């Protein structure tokens, strides 16, 4: 396992079983950098968790990570120390992440129009289409 990172990212407190979604979304199977993917690790805060360690700094869309699991913590590592700890949350607005599946929505015929959703219910983790009010779950992201 990758125990030491000089400069990179640690994505921690991922709900057990959800780490593969993040791994695939980030395309980490194609990166030339060292990546450690831990599944079902014991945790004091959670019963079980997944974790991803990337030995490289990269741009990550925190809105999408928040949609996958708003309890994730992202640690930015610089010079072998945590330089920044980012706590994720459900974003109030997302664009081109969720897709409206309503065939009567303008986004299904006018493909150049962005898919814009607003947080409808934080507890249920649902979003409302800006154009037709269709409700989507956070599990429906691209």
The CATH classification of domain 93-140, taken from the options 1.10.240.10, 3.60.10.10, 3.10.520.10, 2.30.30.20: 2.30.30.20
Torsion sign over Cα 29, 142, 56, 53:
negative
The pair of structure tokens assigned to 70 is 């708003």
Higher pLDDT: 131 or 60? It is: 131
d(CA 36, CA 19): 11
Say whether pLDDT at 39 is over 80: yes
Compute the chain's Rg from CA coordinates.
17
> Quick check: 1 and 66 in contact, CB under 8 A?
no
86-110 per-position pLDDT tens digit: 988 899 999 988 899 999 999 999 9
> Quick check: 36 and 85 in contact, CB under 8 A?
no
Q: What is the pTM of this model?
A: 0.77
């Amino acid at each position: 396992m990758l125990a030491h990172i000089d400069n990179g990212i640690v994505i921690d407190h991922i709900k057990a079983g959800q780490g593969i979604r993040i791994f695939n979304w980030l395309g980490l199977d194609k990166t030339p950098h060292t990546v450690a993917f831990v599944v079902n690790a014991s945790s004091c805060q959670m019963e079980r968790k997944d974790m991803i360690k990337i030995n490289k700094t990269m741009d990550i869309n925190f809105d999408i990570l928040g949609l996958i699991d708003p309890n994730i913590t992202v640690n930015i590592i610089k010079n072998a120390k945590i330089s920044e700890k980012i706590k994720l949350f459900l974003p109030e607005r997302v664009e081109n992440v969720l897709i409206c599946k309503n065939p009567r929505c303008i986004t299904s015929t006018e493909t150049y129009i962005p898919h814009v959703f607003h947080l409808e219910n934080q507890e249920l983790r649902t979003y409302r289409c800006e154009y037709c009010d269709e409700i989507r779950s956070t599990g429906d992201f691209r």
